[in-house]
Structure formats: C-alpha cells, structure tokens
Amino acid sequence: MKLHVKKGDMVQVIAGDDKGKIAKVLKVYPEKNRAIVEGVNVNKKHTKPNAKNPQGGIVEQEASIHISNLMLVEGRTPTRIGRRINEKTGKLVRYSKKSGEEIK
C-alpha cells in the first residue's frame, strides 16, 4: 500500500496533543498505517537495569502516531500529496498539490 509519508520526510502534526509540531519521520509501519515522528507523542517507559542502561529508571521514547494525523511539509508550508507518472523516467512520483513540484 502506498502512503503519503516516507522515512526522512518532514511532516506537520495536524491533530492530537502535538498539533502544529513540525518534525522528521523516523520509521513508518505501512501495515498499521502508523509512523514514528521525532519528538512527537513521547511516552515515559520504566526500564529495569540492563547493559545499555545500567542504572535503569524512566526513559522517554516516541510512540507511533496514525498517518492520517500527519501532513507533509515542503519548505515551511504543509501541502497535500498527489501521484503522477514522471515523463522522463516513467515512474510513479509524489508531487505537491500546492506548488505542483515533484517531491524527492
């Protein structure tokens, strides 16, 4: 299934507690329609001492957010996404509906 966001994209959160934040997508789960976004939907997790964290304690980590609550940001403006076939390569590419330019 094709999604409008990919790993490494800059997105704006359009719903929820973190509404308005602009951040980078760290990981996408297409089967669940969810993504992990840097600094968004941060939860506290209590961890036991281990080799990585010998002290243990409370660790903050990002939880996933539904992709319907994300909007791609091109430059500094959020935009909707379309798909079209590139005339030169013949491949399906994403483009900005606001500016009409292809998104890399």
The pTM assigned to this predicted structure is 0.85
For residue 63, the model assigns a pLDDT of 97
The Cα–Cα gap between 82 and 28 comes to: 19
User: What's the rounded mean pLDDT across residues 85-90?
Assistant: 92
- Averaged over 79-85, what is the pLDDT? 95
What percentage of residues in the chain have a pLDDT greater than 70? Answer: 100
Query: What integer pLDDT is reported at residue 29 of this predicted model?
Result: 97
| Alpha helix (H) residue ranges in 1-104 | none
Spell out the domains of the chain, with CATH numbers in brackets.
Answer: 10-77 (2.30.30.30)
**Single-letter amino acid, residue 39:** G
